[in-house]
Structure 1
Amino acid sequence: MSEGISKQLVLPKGSGFGVKNGALDKDAFRKVVTVLAAKVAPEKAGVLLKAPALKRSLIDVPKVKSVARGPDQDKLVLLKYSDQADLIEDAVQFLRSQAAELVPHELVFDYDYWSADDVIHAILPEELEEGAPSGFAVVGHIAHMNLRPEYLPYKHIIGQVVLDKNPSVRTVVNKLDNIVDQFRVFKMELLAGEPDFVVTQSENDCKFTFDFREVYWNSRLHHEHERLIEQFKTEDVIADVFAGVGPFAIPAAKKGCGVLANDLNPSSYKYLTVNISDNKVGSLVRPFCEDGREFIRQAFNRAWDDPLAPVPQRKQRRTELKEIRAGERPAPPVGPRRNRISHFVMNLPDTAILFLDAFRGVLSPAIAGERDLSGLYAEATMPMIHTHCFTRELEPEKAEADIRQRVEEKIGHPLGADTVYHWVRSVAPQKEMYCVSFRLPYAVAYAS
């Protein structure tokens, strides 16, 4: 017995199909397939669809509806065969009992029918087909690809396919090199779509606007952002050393935290201030644009000299506001301003560990001056430091040992037993990303 029309609905793989004069030829992907259809009165269509005798004969092609409109008021129940001889006898007898007339029906499968993978596997030559690119990251309306060199001759065709097959994508770009500058950005080229690189990205109930060419953003870190933010308490003050456009800072402020947020990249700082305003957390986040070491050294003094806003009050219900105005209920007391930093976030995995030496002596008179911060920062109340980093060690025990050795070398002190090493993601075949979280040692902070 025939398997139906499924075998006709495939594109040739690794054949350079659908490319004409170096461009995508969409007309080449058009296929017309004739199937059998059972023409019945509208009220009988449901009977045929539910009939056990037809269960193995109904059309089973993705994205094709089982019932089509026929001439006059009739319905066409589509079958998966082109030839009546392929129908089993039970199906034939059932159709006769229902006075169904078998008629031919044309199905048109054009370029829009095929998936991006179908098209890309067809257009590439045989030697490139097996490892054909299919994945990409989406940032706002931009699809960001990282094509290997052997696929670059087909980059614009691949970009066009990605654009065509993803309605939310308006711009497709390709990464040109590794992140090499101090601002963690890379060069990119436009493959297809609009040359519009300013995006709006939603994450953790916040909206972030930025120019993807000018700042660092990695959508794959969404869960890491969420993980750390869950550790922050509403009353905490957070110092974000490499804040970017605010993926840690702004959701933390939405939670009620006070935040000192810094980034050396002027473009990141620009969009950080935009996002602070757009997300209405201006009273809780203070942005800075300076070197990470200088920010670390000044953060404690800044929080002491100009404490951050109190924890936001719960929004009063209408009846409560009415009672307060009438003097029937006292207004809720305003909490104290906050001057103790609870957490430092250092999300610059390539070099963050190198900045840890800035914590040496950060609470000593040499930096704190005449401020007596010892009442705020005792052994048990020192801030937690969350440092993202890379390691070439693939085994967890070896990775932790490598990270510990590098951190202790920079701070000049052993890490405590409560230090946590959290695996974040695999970046490359021999490159893992971790976050090491430890309490700033008292002896380090007060070192002379």
Structure 2
Amino acid sequence: MVRRHARFRAVISTTTAGRRTDGDGNGRVRGVGRVRANVRLGRVAGIEISANVGALVIVLLVGLGLAGGQFPQQYPGRPFLVYASAGLIAGLLITASILIHELAHALVARGAGIDVEGITLWLLGGVARLRGEPRSPAAELAVALVGPLTSLALGGVFAAAAFAVRAATGGGLAVATLGYLAGANVLLALFNLVPAAPLDGGRVLRGVLWWRSGDRDRAAISAARAGRVFGIGLIILGFAQLLLLRGFGGLWLALIGWFLVHAASAEENQVRLGQRLSGVRVRDVMSASAVTAPAEAKVSEFIDDVVLRQPYSTYPLVDDEGRLTGLVTLNRIRALPLDRRAETRLADIACPPPEVPTAAPDDAVTDLLPRIDGCTDGRAVALDEDRRVVGVVSPRDVARLASAAEFRTPQSLQGADLATTRV
């Protein structure tokens, strides 16, 4: 069925696309600024690197902590500016070390056939954003272990540099800075090897349990539960330190523990959702009868003629053959200043095709879910064999199906096709 609108008669058509009416999401608007607070830093080996304000906080915390404490105690009598400069360099280098740690994960994951969306540096370190999961225990172990091994190697490099500088100069702030970086990288490696998801050690635990039992889901749930227990332990330890010793480090431990509990619980929930959706195809989830648009349409006209008249918040952009050329959501339109909407094309604010998660209608939903992220506000697009848009999957669609699927056991879902009835 094709329905046309008066002013967009030659360029706007109706296809089987998705409906989305929930809240704001994250995304990047090309040419008009950003919806999220991440700043692109560039690309390394083809992998996009970004950071948010949390990365700056890491640099400042490390720099000020060293400048106001460790460095003056080790080498007293120097101007504060000297301590601050050495601390700032240490903060930048520890952030660079975290980036190298994540790059190692990303490169090995890419070698294992996993798409890498990018790397983000933030308050608690960094994260390599992978679109998918390892397909074997061996790949799981390789991706997980390479990060800590890289940090250990960096620790050795900084330690060797510290010894070399000490031998040449007899000591000084350069030696203290290199020694701190060596110790910090070793500590980073050891902490990440704790067998608790979502830490690297939790991935190692999942890989080992998966290899021994052959049951990936059960292994993932066990690793997630270990992560939750470890996180609760850190929260208790952090508050005990905060109350008894009145040290800032206790608050930091509690924050890390809270993050681990939250992330581990989310991982377990995702595994259980995957179990409930086993056998469900993309065509069973995608919504129907939404509006597509041409990339050259002006934003202001599109708002007046389509957005205000249609109950959708997701608009795939297509060419004359119906092939995907981008994706626009209400959040991305909202991010564009009012005085620029008359001159801006939809293509200028759209998620480009490489950043839009796509799948065939007969693909498994469980393969698509891990890739639904980024600038599309949680949407994905279903394409036919000719790359034409045939549907859109939103979190609301998945939640609706998951709510119905929870009445069935994971065993009964194996190999089943779960259809939905829309009213």
What TM-score bracket applies, with the shorter chain setting the length? Answer: under 0.3
TM-score by length of 2: 0.25
Structure whose CA Rg is larger = 1
TM-score by length of 1: 0.24
Higher strand share: 1
Bigger RCO (CA 8 Å, 6+ sep): 2
